[in-house]
A and B are shown apart, each in its own frame.
Chain A
Amino acid sequence: MTAPAGATAVSVVPPAPALEIRDLVVRYGSGRKARRTAPAIDGVSFDIAPGETVGLVGESGSGKSTIGKAVLGLQPPTSGTVRVQGQDITRMSLKQRSRQVADLRVVFQDPYSSLNPARTIGQTLVEPLALMGIKGTAAWEKARSGLESVGLPGEAVDRYPSQFSGGQRQRIAIARALVCDPKVVVLDEPVSALDLSTQAQVLNLLADLRDQRGLSFLFIAHDLGVVRFLSQRTVVLYRGQIMETGPVEAVSQAPRHPYTVALTSAAPVPRPAEQAARRAAREALGMGTAGAASASATGCPFVPRCPLATDVCAEQRPPLRLIDDSLTACHHAERVPAL
């Protein structure tokens, strides 16, 4: 896959991207069995510029969370490289990473299991600071101001997670990620466990923090509407491969890959008349049932569900091609109907 050349053409990529992923392959398990099954991530490459948010979307099982884990070092990649600010961290241990590159942090999906119920908010927040050599009152001062920067009062350091609602806990998780001034934050479905109005609060907060601090986000989500709100670019993933990537407006408003069309058209909008029209359009597309059959190893993984599939799709894996503003891995991208 030759994403670097193409990616430079679509968006202005400065010399050192904040996060650079090249030819990432992740296989679960080990030994012969792992080599027989399809990899969870199959040759994924993309960059995130400083201050940019890239949305990673796909259905469950598409590998979007696996990419996040590989970037964070929680899942060792089989091959490929991950660089943060030009520094190769692919093979670094988690301990080395925190010493040498304090630039990479995470916010998880579930605000209930991501905070240790037995430790106060303050203890949770100063923990990463202590490892960076910031201790005592300086650390607690930083924890307090960190809480204030996510819209919570500084006195909350003395409370336990159980005293906060889901949205407030997610703010605390964001404060924990930001307390050591990282450059890149992996957001693994940070709002999908939250109610609509709380989700909006947290999305606004993330957008504010990004703009104030020039953060780069790898934003993992399943909802293209949410991704469109927060991201500049988006990567659409299916069975561990990139189907389409480009500026978020192009991908969400004029998708070029049948899979992106399937995802976009399936998301319901809260306007009955518009939704009825979208539904009719979606049903006219004739998309195959999700999870219907497993794909062939050689061709396009979306073949079993794709209404446009032909023989060539089952035989050759389509390369990423630049069409209009986005890169699309589809032999028939020109025939994809407009939304």
Chain B
Amino acid sequence: MSVLPLDAADEVATEPVPPARRRGVPGFLRRPGGVFGAAWLVFIIVASLTAPLWRPYEVTEQDTANRLALPSADHWFGTDPLGRDLLSRIFTAGSLPLLSSALMLVVAFGIGLPLALLAAERGRKVERVTSRSTEVLMALPGTILLLAVIGVIGNRLYPVMAILGVLISAAVYRVMLGVAQSVRQRLYIDAARVNGLGSLRVNLLHVLPSMATVVAVQAAQLFGIGLLIVAGLAFLGFGPGEPEPSWGFMIQDASGHLFDAPWLLVPTGVVLALTVVAANELADAIAGKKADKVPARRKERLPVAVADTAPADPSAVLEVRDLSVAVDDGPQLVTGVSFALRPGTVLGLVGESGCGKTMTARSLMGLLPDGVSVSGGSIRWQGRELVGLSEKELTAVRGREIAMISQEPMVALDPMFSIAYQLVGPIRRFRGVGRGAARKIAAELLRNVGIVDAERVLKSYPHQLSGGMAQRVCIALALTGEPELLIADEPTTALDVTVQAEILSLLRALVHDTGLSVVIVSHDLGVVADICDDVAVMYAGAVVESGTAAAVLDDPSHPYTMALLGANPHVPEGEPVPLRLASIPGTVPPPGSWPTGCRFASRCQFARDECTAPFPALPAHGSGSVLCIRVDDLASTHATWDAEPVGAETVADAVAEPAPTAGVS
């Protein structure tokens, strides 16, 4: 779980909300592989340990008339070269590899796990000592050491496997250290420490449970490896001596009869293979607990019913009409979104998380996540319809005509390559120039985005840049194809206010100097006021109010816009800070549970009965619109969105409905 970007819900909303946790049944048992693995392991363990109680023959009992027999009613699995019953021998032999592998696991985790927890807790100094010690262990040649140990102490499998456990503990430590360190970064660990929990309890209650999955996966895999090692040792003759049965020796025995009695290999081989496969299947099932969702393959684009294609606004460079975006075979994420962008202007898409602004912006470039697609409406770019274009046709548009910058500049740049490398590639591709010319253009682009020492920045790698500098580089990268439209998804959210102001100034200068058009996605009304000419306020997948930024922000018509403005603590100059800020009760309804009428009605101070029936958007702010049936009432009464009275927040109210964010964690 990483730090959540502000707009994460926009991404998350595309995944179906998982069903509430089913009590009692662990997740891995809901997968066929997990059921098989767990069932077989339980069976083989129980059958092996109880074999002396039920086996049909003693392990040394010889049926000399039936040597190397095939399965029969007397001998279900057949017999070996001495006429001994294979069924009895296989299951009697099982307890030794199973128990000694378990012992190896206990030793390996008994050493590796506490060391890892200790090193993660105590930090660098302790970690350096433990890591170096385990490196020494890992450097030892395991097989040779094991054979040497057998030479000294003899064929005693339990001590040998315990020593193998010590050797493997180094590898366990390595894996567990990484997990423990990342778990300790989580804030609930700090919160527990501030609460005064001792080191042991922090580890037992908070760190270990979060590592449980990795521990289980590792254990199941190592168990399988342990079984193979025990069998291998017995195969080489380092197992229990004849006449005691062992899997390894039985396989070795069978290999001598490959041509005259091939069946002999089958029962032992299948049981050993099934046991190892079961351990690995179980590990996979436990590991897959989180990552089981196979992403739906991107479907071939279905022909979408394109609405009336005559441009309504001839001056618009981009015109979106009745755009709908939906999860394939799932709920709609964006419905009936319309807006127009004039050349050389900036349009803001504004709203809270989960309102569909990012989905709308991404659909403009055909960059929707897998399993999500445009389900209706039209996107006209310079008179061309973008909805329904093939991936190839869209690639020609992306970068050259429409470019994009994202919220996290550091994620957008590849940490492995220098800035020069990352800029030169696209420049050569888009502009068809040589390497030297491309490098000159790259330096020029960096200077255009306000980077003074362009040559130094070209040579540096992303981690050497500050967040503001990285975002400037990302803007330069977006400009490599000389696009006419830039889509900026929360371009300043991750930056300090001072840096944000610089980036906004840069964008404004680009719009002014080059005639670039920009669609900017933001949750910050201040950013919208600073840079946007027009604004579309989105709520629950629909545009609830649109118009020029000045009209919408200075004179909001929709209650949602009023509430957002009231919630902003930046009061006008000279006014005192209010005692309480305006807020909106509850949360944005998730896609799929939108009501038929006004989607904001359940949270609206001004909602009436008539708000629950469907109604069309009304014209407002000149060329804009507003999606509120009571807009005239509210305007005539000069309604304002009022803050709740002092103390209201501490009264338990109806905010307890399960929130739609379960997919986040």
Contact = CB atoms under 8 A, between A and B. Distances in A.
A270 B556 CA distance: 12
A229 B579 CA distance: 8
A114 B499 contact: no
A283 B505 contact: yes
A99 B468 CA distance: 44
Contacts of A266: 497-498, 500-501
A204 B498 contact: no
B355 to A, nearest CB: 9
Contacts of B4: 110, 112, 166, 193
Contacts of A180: 195
Instruction: Please classify how large the interface on chain A is, using the bins under 10, 10 to 19, 20 to 34, 35 or more.
Output: 35 or more
B66 to A, nearest CB: 56
B194 A205 contact: no
A236 to B, nearest CB: 13
Determine which residue in B205, B467, B570, B571 has the highest number of CB atoms from chain A within 10 A of its CB, and name it. Answer: B570
Interface string A74-117: 10000000000000000000110111000011101110111111
A233 interface: no
Interface in B625-665: 643-644, 646-653, 655-656, 658-662, 664-665
A165 B587 contact: yes
A298 interface: no
Contact of B21 (A127, A160, A212, A263): A160
B353 interface: yes
B46 to A, nearest CB: 30
Interface stretch (A33-41, A271-279, A329-337): A271-279
A246 interface: no
A248 B143 CA distance: 70
* 4 residue pairs, one from A and one from B, having the closest CB atoms: A98-B196, A268-B526, A165-B659, A270-B525
A316 interface: no
Given A193-B6, A201-B583, A283-B505, A271 B194 contact: no
A231 to B, nearest CB: 10
Interface stretch (B73-81, B292-300, B560-568): B560-568
A229 B571 CA distance: 9
B563 A197 contact: yes
A73 interface: yes
B564 A197 contact: yes
A59 B568 contact: no
B501 A268 contact: yes
Instruction: Please classify how large the interface on chain B is, using the bins under 10, 10 to 19, 20 to 34, 35 or more.
Output: 35 or more
Nearest to A227: B569
Contact of A204 (B197, B530, B580): B580
A151 B653 contact: yes
A285 to B, nearest CB: 11
Interface stretch (A1-9, A17-25, A286-294): A286-294
A131 B187 contact: no
Contact of B661 (A156, A160, A165): A165
B193 interface: yes
B1 A95 contact: no
Contacts of A141: none
Contacts of B655: 151-152, 168, 171
A284 interface: no
B352 A201 contact: no
Contacts of A274: 529, 572-573
Interface stretch (B150-158, B512-520, B546-554): B546-554
A282 to B, nearest CB: 6
A118 B209 contact: yes
Interface in B430-477: 450, 466-469
Contact of A200 (B209, B353, B583, B656): B583
Contacts of B229: none
Interface string A153-182: 111100111111111100101001000100
B502 A195 contact: no
Interface in A173-211: 173, 176, 180, 193, 195-201, 203-205, 207-209, 211
Nearest to B208: A118
Given A74-B190, A109-B187, A271-B529, 6 more contacts: A113-B188, A196-B568, A197-B583, A266-B497, A268-B501, A270-B526
B496 A290 contact: yes
